[in-house]
């Protein structure tokens, strides 16, 4: 007698391959579910392609940002080949030479107190951490000190029995927020080799003429420390507190000094050795004084860096376009069927890539009429017959030599002003371009500066200048102007094709942007969620169908077997 189960049908009785028949019926009914699965699989490929595209676009945008920086960077060559006296960096300034000679560098005030006549050392103890063997105050239960760094701020420190040691005084000073750093130094000589040294946190003379002071305000202090008593004196004109008495760096250590140097024949002083305000866009680092002679620093555009940055951008752009072509071009299989590319029917990405190419190879918006270069092909960046972009290095570097500012305008948001009172700091992705008139006035009563902006005959409401900056609103949103005082004139704003491409990429890749990659991915995710539910429901129905068919064929086998058994019995009779 034939046997059957829900998972296997022998078909021995009828001779019918019932399993194959069930499989064929179920496969026929699974056609709709397979179409859903194919759509979901394509969506998964589309998700992967869009995610890769977003990464590539972001990388391209970062490459453009690096290019913008490189166009603004400068090389500095020095006649001081060993960088002994001075080094410098420069950004965004015109080419030229700067002659500098360093007389003195800025130093920090250092206090070691007066020499003890017996030991020959000061502020010294045998054991800096032992309040019994080497106490700071020798009578009473506490002692109070005043410490003042070159910043002019006075801090009071009180020692009690728990901190009555040189280490305790050091820790109290460092925790006080005073403008000095306290350290305990082992000078390695004598029976009391440990000293307290106070060093100003900042270089330069500051508010105290370079003096660091430590004084005892109350309590009896061990004489070997060399800390004299002191008191508060009359404040200076700027309000800086003074200390009368005590021990100072002037007599016990070394006062701070300012940097003293000449730049193009002009003598300058600064409180720091890193000088950023002598020449706008240039930073000098003074390293050693007493210079014999002069160091000449030559500033020039960083052609090599800019060329490498342009080539990097072009390489990433060409790779992006190739990857998009591969992800959007369907192919034909050997059997003639179409292998659909994941982005073949995606209109949003197709529009984005078209806009990106059109933007890069279009004309910069808002350029002054006399601009030397107006498009990328003008400076050696052009499209070849196969669609890839190519850089003519000689043409590009020649353009940098001839008119660097015009080259920069092709890649950045830029602004020129007819008045020294106003300069353009930055612009946003939606800031208008072209000529804009401005008027800056000063309120006679409050001294506050107010500004208005006029474009195409329409004038903005007055905008208050805050901390020297006027921030535009409305059509001027994102515009930031540095304002030095009252005045009027015209600024001309331009948005280079490089910056416009960056803005386009930002809008397409930023989460939440309408029509951007994130919104497309969100839509695909929602669609796949629905498809997944439909596929699961369809699979459940097919499983039920398979079970029902299996049962019916099993019943059929059983009936046929019974009929044959009955016929066999009749034949035997």
Pairing of strands 266-270, 295-301: unpaired
User: Average of pLDDT values for 109-137?
Assistant: 59
User: Average of pLDDT values for 294-323?
Assistant: 96
Cα–Cα dist 379/390, whole Å? 11
pTM of this prediction exceeds 0.85: no
- At residue 121, the pLDDT reads 42
Average the pLDDT over each of 101-110, 155-164, 302-311, 384-393 and give the range with the smallest value. Answer: 155-164
- At residue 127, the pLDDT reads 59
SS (H, E, C) 404-431: HHHHHHCCCEEEEECCCCEEEEECCCCC
Please determine, for residue 565, whether its predicted confidence score (pLDDT) is greater than 90: no
Give the highest mean pLDDT range of 252-256, 306-310, 323-327, 476-480.
Answer: 306-310
* 60-105: pLDDT as tens digits: 999 999 999 999 999 999 999 899 999 999 998 888 999 999 999 9
The single residue listed with the structure tokens 């030599």 is 401
Name the residue among 205, 210, 271, 216 with its Cα closest to residue 243: 216
Cα–Cα dist 426/41, whole Å? 45
C-alpha distances in angstroms, 478 versus 386, 433, 472?
A: 39, 12, 6
- At residue 4, the pLDDT reads 41
CB-CB neighbours of 318 under 10 Å: 16
- At residue 120, the pLDDT reads 45
Segments making up each domain of the chain, as ranges:
59-69+303-409, 110-254, 415-495
Please determine, for residue 1, whether its predicted confidence score (pLDDT) is greater than 50: no
pLDDT band at 336 (very low <50, low <70, confident <90, very high): confident
| Residue 25 φ/ψ, nearest 5 degrees | -65, -45
Please determine, for residue 285, whether its predicted confidence score (pLDDT) is greater than 70: yes
Cα–Cα dist 94/279, whole Å? 11
* 412-469: pLDDT as tens digits: 999 989 999 999 999 988 888 999 999 999 999 999 999 999 999 999 999 999 999 9
Beta bridge partners of 39: none
């Amino acid at each position: 007698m034939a046997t059957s189960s829900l998972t296997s049908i022998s078909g021995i009785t009828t001779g019918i391959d019932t399993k194959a028949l069930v499989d064929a019926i179920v496969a026929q009914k699974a056609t709709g579910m397979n179409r859903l699965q194919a759509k979901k699989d394509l969506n998964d490929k589309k998700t992967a392609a869009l995610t890769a595209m977003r990464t590539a676009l972001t990388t391209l945008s970062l490459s453009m940002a690096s290019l913008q920086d490189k166009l603004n960077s400068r090389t500095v060559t020095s006649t001081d080949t060993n960088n002994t006296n001075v080094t410098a960096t420069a950004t965004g300034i015109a080419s030229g030479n700067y002659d500098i000679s360093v007389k003195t560098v800025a130093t920090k005030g250092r206090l070691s107190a007066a020499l003890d006549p017996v030991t020959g050392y000061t502020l010294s103890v045998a054991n800096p951490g032992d309040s019994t063997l080497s106490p700071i105050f020798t009578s009473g239960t506490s002692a109070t000190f005043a410490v003042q760094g070159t910043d002019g701020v006075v801090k009071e420190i009180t020692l009690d029995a728990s901190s009555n040691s040189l280490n305790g005084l050091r820790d109290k000073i460092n925790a006080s927020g005073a403008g000095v750093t306290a350290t305990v130094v082992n000078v390695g000589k004598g029976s009391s080799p440990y000293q307290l040294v106070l060093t100003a946190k900042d270089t330069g003379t500051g508010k105290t003429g370079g003096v660091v002071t430590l004084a005892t305000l109350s309590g009896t202090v061990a004489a070997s420390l060399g800390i004299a008593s002191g008191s508060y004196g009359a404040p200076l004109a700027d309000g800086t507190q003074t200390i009368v008495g005590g021990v100072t760096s002037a007599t016990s250590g070394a006062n701070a000094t300012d940097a003293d140097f000449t730049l193009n024949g002009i003598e300058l002083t600064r409180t720091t050795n890193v000088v950023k305000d002598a020449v706008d866009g240039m930073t000098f680092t003074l390293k050693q004084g007493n210079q014999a002679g002069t160091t000449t620093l030559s500033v020039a555009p960083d052609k090599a860096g800019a060329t490498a940055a342009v080539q990097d951008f072009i390489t990433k752009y060409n790779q992006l376009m190739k990857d998009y072509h591969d992800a959007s071009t369907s192919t034909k299989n050997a059997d003639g069927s179409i292998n659909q590319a994941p982005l073949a029917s995606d209109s949003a990405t197709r529009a984005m890539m078209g806009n990106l190419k059109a933007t890069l190879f279009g004309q910069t918006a808002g350029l002054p009429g006399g601009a030397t270069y107006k498009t990328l092909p003008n400076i050696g960046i052009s499209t070849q017959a196969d669609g890839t972009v190519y850089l003519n290095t000689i043409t590009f570097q020649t353009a940098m030599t001839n008119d660097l500012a015009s080259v920069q305008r092709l890649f950045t948001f830029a602004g020129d002003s007819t008045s020294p009172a106003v300069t353009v700091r930055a612009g946003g992705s939606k800031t208008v371009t072209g000529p804009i008139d401005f008027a800056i006035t000063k309120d006679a009563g409050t001294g506050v500066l107010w500004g208005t902006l006029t474009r195409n005959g329409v004038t903005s409401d007055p905008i208050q200048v805050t901390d020297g900056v006027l921030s535009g609103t409305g059509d001027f949103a994102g515009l930031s102007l540095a304002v030095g005082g009252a005045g009027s004139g015209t600024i001309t704003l331009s948005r280079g094709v490089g910056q416009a491409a960056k803005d386009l990429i930002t809008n397409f890749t930023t989460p939440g942007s309408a029509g951007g990659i994130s919104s497309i991915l969100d839509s695909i995710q929602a669609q796949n969620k629905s498809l997944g539910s439909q596929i699961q429901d369809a699979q459940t129905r097919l499983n039920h169908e398979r079970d029902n068919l299996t049962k019916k064929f099993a019943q059929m086998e059983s009936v046929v077997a019974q009929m044959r058994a009955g016929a066999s019995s009749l034949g035997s009779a």
